[in-house]
Amino acid sequence: MGVSVTTSFQFPSSLAEGAARCVLTAVGKLCASRLLVVVLTTIAVLGCQALLAGSASAETEGQAIVAAAQNIANQSYQYSGSGPIDSGSSFSSAKYIYCFDGGTTGGATAGGYDKLGTDGTYSNCQPPPNGIGRVGFDCRGLTLYAVFQGSGGAITLPTSTAGAQYSGASGYGGSYIALSALQPGDLVFFGSSSSAIDHVGIVVSGTGTSAEIISAVSEKWGIETHAISWFQAEFSWVGAVAIPGVGSTVGGGGGGPGSGYNAAFQANTGAMLDSYFNSSNQLTWTTNTSLGMAPGTSPSVAPAPNGGYDVALQANTGALLVSYLNSANQVVWTTNTGLGMMQGTSPSIAAGPNGSIGVALQANTGALLVSYLDASHNVDWTTNTGLGMMQGTSPSIALAASGGYDVALQANTGAMLASDLNSAYQVVWTTNTGLGMMQGTSPSIALAASGGYDVALQANTGAMLASDLNSAYQVVWTTNTGLGMMQGTSPSIAP
């Protein structure tokens, strides 16, 4: 793979010390409540990026997530009988119970229908006469609450199902990790398959087969902590997700979403530089000199299923190069020579469900090409010829809440086009004609906490525009005019 050069920077012991080591000349929008980050920075010293990426304490956040769940468990009612429960004194003195569909970021709710008896007459979380009017959590409600509270409101998991919390991991900055990489605060998922998740819990301690898991188990068991082997006897193991900030162990020699942010760019020497966090939480840069990257193009980086990251770029031969980690945790590059990638454009890569990745690029015919993994784990490419993509621009791809992908691009009319999957799992394109997007630039798209997507782009005024969904699920665009964005460049957005 050629010469690899690493440079490390130790985190400053204080913000004041860090400020003395770096200069920020332009900072965009940072919305911690949704973990939406759009940052434009001029880095005078490498330490500045280390300060940005490492400002949160991973251990503290992981422990806080566990503590939030344990606090609920200490107040929850554990049912030990075999028949329907009633509103006796021992039950009525408890604060929380298991409630199907119960729990939000703010606390316990009445949830939906749930019962303990076989006659179907008891709905404990519903008002009398059929229920007893209690509040509580189910498994995805407990993880939703604990992660939100433990992260200080920075991370909101998908609210609908445990399955959505697994398939939508990249939407909240999570990364798929191995059983051996578990750390406190990570999420573990069980079910018959990755598309049929039955249960989710939170790692309390240990890793691998010695991990201890807390979860809202069922109406009978309530909210309890058990060894992971106990859960594996009840459910089939599916996978785990590292929550940003808990400091989960990552593969491939470095950081991932759990440690901050990874970055990749082309140096003026033509080499590709990419960053990661090593085991000492130091920001480390690697230099890849033998990839033959096409001049003037940009690489794209995405979290990998093992907790590391994958990179896609265009070589000076016009081929698409994509990296991944093999079973021995070695970086392997694949070369795709037959795609006909348009010279001077850049591919975009995104983490997908079930450990897959997706890539989007512009072909030399002007068509949009998007890859995905089919049911047999084969790479399939789709070709979209009728979009009228502006020549020389690059699309952006992101994981969609549905488990598929969303794509954003600039049309040759100057409009911004963005795709989405409707309720029938059909691809629908929306055209935004009034944004005044700067000609020749590319938008960036990312999964939003709401389940939709957010977009960032440069307007022809030089301003940076970023979209967001308000509480009424309406798209709202903000205009940032004072950032001094370089003309003709494209911003990047991340969940």
In terms of phi and psi (left: phi > 0; alpha: psi -120 to 50; beta: otherwise), the region of 403 is: left
CATH number listed for the domain at residues 59-242: 3.90.1720.10
- Determine the pLDDT at residue 368: 94
- Alpha carbon distance 29, 37 (integer Å): 6
Q: How many CB atoms lie within 10 A of CB 91?
A: 15
Distance of CA 6 to the CA centre of its chain: 27
How buried is 333 (Cβ within 10 angstroms: 0-12 exposed, 13-18 middle, 19+ buried)? middle
In angstroms and rounded to an integer, the radius of gyration of the C-alpha atoms of the chain is 24
Strand runs labelled E in 268-412 = 272-277, 283-288, 300-303, 309-314, 320-325, 331-336, 348-351, 357-362, 368-373, 379-384, 396-399, 405-410
For the chain, the structural domain boundaries read 59-242, 339-495
- Determine the pLDDT at residue 334: 87
- Determine the pLDDT at residue 471: 58
- Determine the pLDDT at residue 308: 63
Whether pTM exceeds 0.75: no
Q: Which residue, among 452, 303, 442, 263, has the nearest Cα to 368 in the 3D structure? A: 442
Strand runs labelled E in 22-107 = 29-31, 36-38, 96-98
Exposure of 1 in the CB half-sphere (CA atoms within 13 A): 13
- Determine the pLDDT at residue 223: 86
Tell me the two tokens of residue 115.
Answer: 């019962």
- Alpha carbon distance 352, 125 (integer Å): 36
The backbone torsions φ and ψ at residue 257, rounded to the nearest 5 degrees and listed phi first, read -55, -30
> Which amino acid is residue 36, in one-letter code?
L
- Determine the pLDDT at residue 51: 24
- Determine the pLDDT at residue 215: 93
- Determine the pLDDT at residue 202: 96
Tell me the two tokens of residue 39.
Answer: 């940052």
The single-letter DSSP state of residue 109 is B
The single-letter DSSP state of residue 121 is -
Considering the domain delimited by 339-495, tell me its CATH architecture. 6 Propeller (2.120)
pLDDT along the chain (495 residues), means of 10: 32 30 25 32 30 32 85 69 44 62 82 50 57 77 90 83 91 86 91 89 89 86 86 86 62 35 82 74 80 90 68 91 73 88 91 73 93 69 91 87 79 90 74 91 79 84 84 79 88 81
The single-letter DSSP state of residue 78 is P
Confirm whether 59-242 and 339-495 share one CATH topology: no
Place of tokens 């590292």: 242
